[in-house]
Structure 1
Amino acid sequence: MKLNSFDEWSPLKEVIVGSAENYISHERELSFDLFFHDNIANDNASRSEWYYPRLNSRATSAAHTNGRRVPIKDRYVAELCEDLEGIADALRGLGANVLRPLDVHPTTSEIRTPAWPASVVPPLNVRDNTLIVGDEIIETSPMVRSRYFETQLLKPVFQRYFQAGARWTVMPRPMMTDASFDLSYVREGTAGGPTEPIVDPQASPYDVGIEMMFDGAQCLRLGRDIVVNLSTAHHALAVDWLERHLEGRFRIHRVHKLSDSHIDSMVLALRPGTLLVRSEKVAEKLPEALRGWDLIVPPEPESDNFPRYDDDDLILTSPFIDLNVFSVDPRTVLVNEACPELMRKLEQHGFTVVPVRHRHRRLFGGGFHCFTLDTVREGGPEDYLG
């Protein structure tokens, strides 16, 4: 099939589902802590997230910083791999062709650039480091060192699309030293509550100052329009690049500090005129043309459906991770089977809900939208915002 993906809801024809094979550890260093800082905070008793226990103080102690690799238990990875197969099977059952990236080979435990070494992360959250805009693949500038070469594991798929006529672009790759990051967002505090301190950045002979770094999951694709969340100077540089690169083909709409980075557990477009949002306040930061769309706000869970973990298990996601649903067409949505309240709410709005198992979303930083990269949909460059 030829690459064609302009929005989040048109009938799905082909999709990449990520891989978690040989996921061994998380590496606690500056880029990782910056990326996940809102969600690896110490317990905050003033918050009402009783149904979502946060990481306790022992697990977030200083012993876990300064480049320490935090191992992931084999059983969690095995169960995640089972759940990924279930996601792929569900999508095949709905008529989509499912592609998979290369697995990380068990002998590949580390990557290295002139500036730093890092452990390897498999291509699980394939939404992050790639943005599909129409007939173009854009490999974005990574924000986490362990994921620097992640798109290499998608090369066989990208090569096939290129041979079928797709454009294929790579954003400038950052040196990604400590000096590359704008730390103002985390140092000024956020709506997410108290966070772990970000350690003092270290000088490097490869410092070049703030660089562009950005994920595809910061974008909401709406035909000819792309809504982009940015919270830092390194995001802003990347959006400058994106705006210039897509000039004349797509319109970029900037929203500021809707979240620390990703947008897809804050707002998702389920069909033209309908948004799934974390809260009605989210709409206040969206472009004016979107504020009149119908809003679906999920109810709070009535029970705690999250697995219990040990103190040394690192929790990476917010309690809103299950909003990270995936649309197969304007009527059909994949939802975590552990979320009956969300499923009922979507059904009340006329959606067909396909429940799929995803147990360990707390540990691996992603939901269904993160784990998938929709490469072929029926839609085109429609004008939904006027």
Structure 2
Amino acid sequence: MLPLNSFDEWSPLKEVVVGSALNYASHERELSFDLFFHDNLVRSEWYYPRLSVAGDSEKEGTRGAADRLAIKQRYVDELNEDIEGIVKTLESLSVTVHRPLDVDQATARVQTPAWSASVVPPLNIRDNTLILGDEIIETPPMIRSRYFETQFLTPVFTEYFRRGARWTVMPRPLMTDASFDRSYANASAGGPTEPIADPQPSPYDVGFEMMFDGAQCLRLGRDIVVNVSNDNHAMACDWLERHVEGRFRIHRVYRLSDSHIDSMVLALRPGTLLVRSAEVAEQLPEPLRTWDLIIPPAPESNDFPQYDDDDIVLTSLFIDLNVLSVSPDTVLVNEACPELIRTLERHRFTVVPVRHRHRRLFGGGFHCFTLDTVRDGGVEDYLG
């Protein structure tokens, strides 16, 4: 294992963590889940009524608990096959792959003084960790089910710490209903088909809190572009800006998406961006608007598996823009995207096709499933 070193999204990749989906069993529809996936729960092709939390749960004294929506085992099995394919592909490209701890089958729920939630495996590990150079920053989660997700990465982080890495944990939110700024959800065109209920009071209410994902950041050497869509993000960005002052420059963009930036725009190499649309590019910091833009053809619904009415879809059709760069000229792309592959090849990229079938059911692409810990690049100044 090499010392931690990752400043950007494209420099030659040496070491990476690939997530785990073992014992992924269900989704839990509750306030934090609905807010996080707000844009896609209604913009997908199916109708998902919000689950009632009244009735039996209140009789049992567990007000605020939510039912769990089981995921068909064949989807989980195929997801695990595809993840192993990602691992083998990266290893064939001379990348060292690390893995998190798996969720034990007996671990069904976690609990804090304020709430309890089901457990989600450490699959989309890009989200709750931000690597900035030689520092691991665990970010404050936005979904209760993922509150302890970075614990599954402890063995990996410990080894990097022993090799000199800094290791920081941002303030952890209490995550009561009142902690969430719902302004984006209330203002946007997406969202659950039934209104998100008023927050329930809790003795642990402290008002809005920091909530933020590493996937809201585009890393460009000395510069970090951060998507801010609500007060939770803004507080966390304030913390990050103070924490990295003198080492990195923070550039805020506002409401580029509900949260994550990496299916909207990715930097494939210095001077080249993969962008969802020209409208997205117009919202980026001015220096980035001069970079070459690759805007692939819009995906179509028939590019994806067709699911049953009770299968909950968590991403937009643009999830396959979530590619992973192995070097400035080599990119891992879903093999189900021939138009995206041809577009990148026309721009002189070497494309490595990899299978990933159920990305819309599990909320992530290759960039989401991976956390690059060692790249050759340094703290370069790409924006001037």
Give the structure-1-normalised TM-score: 0.94
Contact 1:139 1:170 in 2 (8 A): yes
**CA distance in structure 2 between the partners assigned to 1:199 and 1:324 by the alignment:** 32
Contact 2:17 2:371 in 1 (8 A): yes
Gaps of 5+ in 2: 54-63
Question: Identity, % of aligned pairs?
Answer: 74
Structure 1 stretch 131-140 or stretch 87-96: which is displaced more?
87-96
1:277-356 paired onto structure 2 within 5 Å: 277-301=275-299, 304-356=302-354
Residue 67 of structure 2 corresponds to residue 56 of structure 1: no
Could you tell me which residue of structure 1 aligns to residue 6 of structure 2? Answer: 5
Listed one character per residue, the Cα deviations across residues 59-108 of structure 1 (whole Å, up to 9, x for unaligned) are: x1234676221111111111100000000111111110000000000000
Contact 1:37 1:195 in 2 (8 A): no
Gaps of 5+ in 1: 44-53
**CA distance in structure 2 between the partners assigned to 1:373 and 1:195 by the alignment:** 33
Structure 1 89/379 Cα, relative in aligned 2: closer, same or farther at 3 Å?
A: same
The SS at the match of 1:155 is helix
Could you tell me which residue of structure 1 aligns to residue 102 of structure 2? Answer: 103
Structure 1 stretch 282-291 or stretch 237-246: which is displaced more?
282-291
Contact 1:64 1:70 in 2 (8 A): no
Could you tell me which residue of structure 2 aligns to residue 139 of structure 1? Answer: 138
Aligned residue pairs: how many?
372
Deviation at 1:198, TM superposition (A): 1.6
Residue 265 of structure 2 corresponds to residue 267 of structure 1: yes
Q: Which consecutive segments of 4 or more residues in structure 1 shift more than 3 A?
A: 62-66, 192-196
**CA distance in structure 1 between the partners assigned to 2:264 and 2:179 by the alignment:** 26
Could you tell me which residue of structure 2 aligns to residue 50 of structure 1? Answer: none
Listed one character per residue, the Cα deviations across residues 236-289 of structure 1 (whole Å, up to 9, x for unaligned) are: 000000000000000000000000000000000000000000001111111111
Structure 1 21/152 Cα, relative in aligned 2: closer, same or farther at 3 Å?
A: same
Could you tell me which residue of structure 1 aligns to residue 61 of structure 2? Answer: none
Contact 2:228 2:234 in 1 (8 A): yes
Deviation at 1:3, TM superposition (A): 0.1
Could you tell me which residue of structure 2 aligns to residue 46 of structure 1? Answer: none
**CA distance in structure 1 between the partners assigned to 2:108 and 2:193 by the alignment:** 29
Could you tell me which residue of structure 2 aligns to residue 33 of structure 1? Answer: 34
**CA distance in structure 1 between the partners assigned to 2:328 and 2:193 by the alignment:** 38
The SS at the match of 2:266 is strand
Listed one character per residue, the Cα deviations across residues 3-32 of structure 1 (whole Å, up to 9, x for unaligned) are: 000000000000000000000111100000
Q: Which letter maps to 1:382?
A: E
Structure 1 94/196 Cα, relative in aligned 2: closer, same or farther at 3 Å?
A: farther
Structure 1 336/246 Cα, relative in aligned 2: closer, same or farther at 3 Å?
A: same
Deviation at 1:160, TM superposition (A): 0.1
Q: CA RMSD in A?
A: 1.3
1:1-386 paired onto structure 2 within 5 Å: 1-41=2-42, 54-57=44-47, 60-63=48-51, 67-190=66-189, 192=190, 196-301=194-299, 304-386=302-384
**CA distance in structure 2 between the partners assigned to 1:126 and 1:189 by the alignment:** 27
**CA distance in structure 2 between the partners assigned to 1:299 and 1:326 by the alignment:** 19
Could you tell me which residue of structure 2 aligns to residue 51 of structure 1? Answer: none
The SS at the match of 2:303 is coil
The SS at the match of 2:5 is coil
Deviation at 1:200, TM superposition (A): 1.6
Structure 1 75/304 Cα, relative in aligned 2: closer, same or farther at 3 Å?
A: same
Could you tell me which residue of structure 1 aligns to residue 56 of structure 2? Answer: none
The SS at the match of 1:39 is helix
**CA distance in structure 2 between the partners assigned to 1:302 and 1:210 by the alignment:** 38
**CA distance in structure 2 between the partners assigned to 1:91 and 1:257 by the alignment:** 33
Contact 2:332 2:352 in 1 (8 A): yes
**CA distance in structure 2 between the partners assigned to 1:107 and 1:68 by the alignment:** 18
Contact 2:29 2:51 in 1 (8 A): no
Listed one character per residue, the Cα deviations across residues 330-373 of structure 1 (whole Å, up to 9, x for unaligned) are: 00000000000000000000000000000001100000000000
Contact 1:17 1:98 in 2 (8 A): yes
Deviation at 1:305, TM superposition (A): 2.1
